[in-house]
Structure 1
Amino acid sequence: MSQDLYETLGVSRDADGDVIKKAYRRLARQLHPDVNPDPATQEQFKEVTRAYEVLSDPEKRRMYDLGGDPFNGGGFGSAGAGQGFSFTDIMDAFFGGQGGAGGAAGSGRGPRPRARRGQDALIRLDVDLAEAAFGTTHELKVDTAVLCTVCNGEGAAPGSHPVPCETCGGRGETVHLQRSFLGEIRTMRPCAACRGFGTIIPEPCRECSGDGRVRSRRTLTVKIPAGVDTGTRVQLTGQGEVGPGGGPAGDLYVEMHVNDHPVFTRHNADLLCQVTVPMTAAALGTTISLPTLEADIASAESDVETAIPFTIPPGTQSGTETVLGGRGVPSLRGTGRGDLVVRIVVETPSRLDDRQQELLRELAALRDEESPDGQLNAHHQSVFDRLRKTFGQR
């Protein structure tokens, strides 16, 4: 391997400290004896570590650039004799700068805070179709973690407070030394006595057992916007679980489930309904009163249109569909409404008395339909079928 320290690390002579550190970490992962025990590789690892020890120190790097010997005076040479050289950066290369093997627990070279953000919560709310379409408000009873009012989230009993940990001196981590062929390897790990917090609660709060939060049932009012559908989630910021140590609360998500309606079927923003009329009404034509979805939320004092006149023209065939624009569900984004599709089903009488049969035979004779052959037609896809197929693909 080249004796030039810059070439050893694979960096240019004007590389800054971050570039040098990244290069060293990359090489350390490849050449560390725990990964590759080959003797030749161990020698390469020593050279890489030797180069990093010089180039990461501004004074030693300056001396090296000027042609001097940066190893005189207790540098790397003394470390090789086992005199306590720190290999924290070696451990950083394997554990992401988290202070060695114990860093995975969250120690960031210092005490970790007791207060942490709480989790988000999710509850389901059943609403009627009209409520989902036009919006409403609901009161919810939720069971979540809330701030302990006895200790105000601190976790300590009234009159007491957390005290610095004597084991780690309040740093939240302890030093562990291990001897190797390179000397003493020093790693930092979360303190086992205080679990990395740096403080100990000598007298925990009896109400929350030192957690800073308790379970409680509370009532919330949620505003449901117009146009929601099954699966829509309404976010209530800061209404979720309070975090450990009295940390900020997460969010509460209310997931909607829209109940089935006895008259209308919803497909996205459109409503479908089916009207059954007698054969005579379909033949002669009629006008019926068609209820609106607004009727479900109308009060005695309101002027909401609860029904609209719907005309069935003479000669209407069974399966005929009529689209009433703007009579569907309002858009969740507040731009317009869907349509109402009305499908007509003509009901053929199944029980006729003698007089009714006689009249129908007379009508058949008048229309020359006493012995019809029937007509064979190609399959016709109705508007309803096309809508159903389209909706089914979404």
Structure 2
Amino acid sequence: MSKRDYYEVLGIDRSASEKDVKKAYKKLAMKYHPDRTQGDKALEEKFKEIQEAYEVLTDSQKRAAYDQYGHAGVDPNRGGGFGGGNADFGDIFGDVFGDIFGGGGGRGRQSRGRQGADLRYNLELSLEEAVRGKDVEIRVPTLVECDECHGSGAKKGTSPTTCPTCHGNGQVQMRQGFFAVQQTCPTCSGRGKIISDPCTKCRGHGRTEKTKTLSVKIPAGVDTGDRIRLSGEGEAGEAGAPAGDLYVQVHVREHKIFTRDGNNLYCEVPLSFTTAALGGELQVPTLDGKVKLKVSPETQTGRMFRLRGKGVKSVRTGATGDLMCKVVVETPVNLSTRQKELLRELDDSMGGETAKHRPKEQGFFDGVKKFFDDLTN
């Protein structure tokens, strides 16, 4: 059976932000989570579908592949990165909802150390770097697994023992009348293990501080606000739990010439008085070098010229935007006496034919006259 569109599954538009994706997922997961559907297989499959859509659309790289190639772009059998529908409900659901359903403890799952925290690295790029992409090396201070105790927190040659209070579950049950409330075990703080002889290097934490050097491939076309996720490169988890992720947050510096809006670039190009009046050719800068632009006679300030395909190639769709050039007619300055005389001669030669040579000026003053006539009537 063919898969439904992920955006349709979550009931969102293709332009939805990551925040919108998470909001839609929470709403649906609250309704269809197995803890609430009481073993209904059809609803359980629906939850798997919702969960799969959420995992793809909150991962910038998977979402880009899905937007470009559909389900084939994230199919593991075709080289895609999605892991299928075998994930543990409690793990993924717990990341979003925490203890709403007791963290899955009611299903007899063994408590594990907390997953490592996600980290964020702010990366600043020039417009050229963002448009073309590049490989960068970054240094990230983080917590890594202790190489002395291999994350156990116990001194070399020893090992943690099972907590006698919770018997390794990490949680204890407190009864209040008809209700049973699960709480984190006060003896082991939820780890399920007791360390009687801590590691001397990490002092029982199982993690040590380290600055890692990572190589990051920045895809061509990224823009301010885009995030690149490096799975497992965040802080190491506690007691051997999985590490968090590292999110590289992109910020593109302002450019001296170009302004970016999506996949299009904009710039202003000065145009001489004579070229604007008589027409001619104009050299225009692009990110790939200069190109010639043909300017028609009688061009006015503010006219926009479009250079197709000279913008930015989208990191998601692969489509390339345009370069929009706005011409600004430049009034001559530092004129010599002779040049001023020539301009006066030009103005005199136009005589009273204002409407013919300067139609905008004539139209403006006609409008002003009408405005004051209406006031007096």
- 2:159 aligned partner: 161
> What is the aligned counterpart of 2:140 among 113, 123, 142?
142
Distance 1:333 1:167, change over 3 A: closer
**Cα distance, 1:218 vs structure 2:** 0.8
How many Å apart are 1:370 and its aligned residue?
9.0
- Aligned CA distance change for structure 1 residues 239 and 191 (closer, same or farther; 3 Å): closer
In structure 2, what residue type is equivalent to 1:243? G
Q: Distance in 2 between matches of 1:162 and 1:109?
A: 25
Query: Residue 29 of structure 1 aligns with which residue?
Result: none
CA pair 109-361 structure 1, distance change in 2 beyond 3 A: closer
1:309 to partner: Cα distance: 1.4
Contact kept, 8 Å, 1:107 with 1:196, in 2: the verdict is no
Letter in structure 2 aligned against 1:273 = C
**Superposed displacement of residue 354, structure 1:** 1.8
User: Displacement, 1:214?
Assistant: 1.6
- Structure with larger Rg: 1
CA contact (8 A) 2:114 2:238 kept: yes
Question: 1:204 aligned to 2:198?
Answer: yes
Instruction: Give, in angstroms, the shift of residue 168 of structure 1.
Output: 5.8
* CA 161–286 in structure 1, closer or farther in 2 if over 3 Å, else same: same
1-structure distance, mates of 2:298, 2:174: 93
List alignment gaps of at least 5 residues for structure 2.
1-34, 39-100, 366-377
Distance 1:104 1:206, change over 3 A: farther
Report whether the alignment pairs 1:222 with 2:209.
Answer: no
Q: What are the within-5 Å matches in structure 2 for residues 72-221 of structure 1?
A: 112-166=110-164, 191-221=185-215
The residue that corresponds to 2:258 in the other structure is 264
- Partner residue of 2:326? 343
- In the other structure, the counterpart of 2:23 is none
Q: Is the 8 A contact 2:228 2:248 kept in 1?
A: yes
Cα contact 2:228–2:249 (8 A) shared by 1: yes
Residues 331-352 of structure 1 deviation map (CA, whole Å, 9 limit, x = unaligned): 1224321111111111112443
Matched ranges for 1:9-20 at <5 A: none
Deviations 1:178-236 (A, max 9, x none): 9x9x9xx9998665433454432111112222121122111111111122111111111
Quote the offset at 1:328 in angstroms.
0.7
Name 1:376's counterpart in structure 2: 363
Count of matched residue pairs: 265
Q: Does structure 2 conserve the Cα–Cα contact (< 8 Å) formed by 1:135 and 1:224?
A: yes
SS across alignment from 1:275? strand
One-letter code of the match for 1:375? Answer: Q
Contact 1:110 1:172 in 2 (8 A): no
1:244 matched to 2:249? The reply is no
For 1:286, the aligned partner's letter is G
Partner of residue 356, structure 1 = 339
Indicate the residue corresponding to 1:97 in structure 2: none
Distance 1:355 1:165, change over 3 A: closer
Cα distance in 2 between the residues matched to 1:314 and 1:233: 46
Q: Structure 1 vs Structure 2: percent identity of aligned residues?
A: 44
Q: What one-letter code is carried by the residue in structure 1 that aligns with 2:257?
A: V
TM-score, normalization by structure 1 = 0.59
Note if contact 2:280-2:297 (Cα within 8 Å) is conserved in structure 1: yes
Q: What residue identity is the alignment partner of 1:147?
A: E
Counterpart Cα distance in 2 of 1:371 and 1:211:
85
Deviation at 1:108, TM superposition (A): 5.2
Letter paired with 2:154: A
Q: Is the 8 A contact 1:172 1:198 kept in 2?
A: yes
SS in 1 for 2:139: strand
Aligned residue type for 1:362:
E
Query: Which has the larger helix fraction?
Result: 2
Residues 145-179 of structure 1: CA distance to partner in whole angstroms, max 9, x if unpaired? 1111111111111111112345566565678899x
Q: Give the distance between the partners of 1:186 and 1:316, measured in 2 at CA.
A: 80
Tell me which residue corresponds to 1:59: none
- The answer on whether the counterparts of 2:113 and 2:191 sit within 8 Å (CA) in structure 1 is no
Say what the alpha-carbon RMSD is for the aligned residues.
3.5
Contact kept? 1:111, 1:172, Cα under 8 Å: no
One-letter amino acid of the structure 1 residue matched with residue 235 of structure 2: E
Are the equivalent residues in 1 in contact too, given 2:304–2:326 (CA < 8 A)?
A: yes
**1:280 aligned partner:** 274
Contact 1:278 1:348 in 2 (8 A): yes
**Cα 1:142–1:177 shift into 2, 3 Å:** closer
Partner secondary structure for residue 363 of structure 2: coil
What amino acid does structure 2 have at the position aligned with 1:206? T
Query: Do 2:118 and 2:234's aligned partners in 1 also have CA atoms closer than 8 Å?
Result: yes
2-structure distance, mates of 1:174, 1:343: 69
Partner of 1:391: none
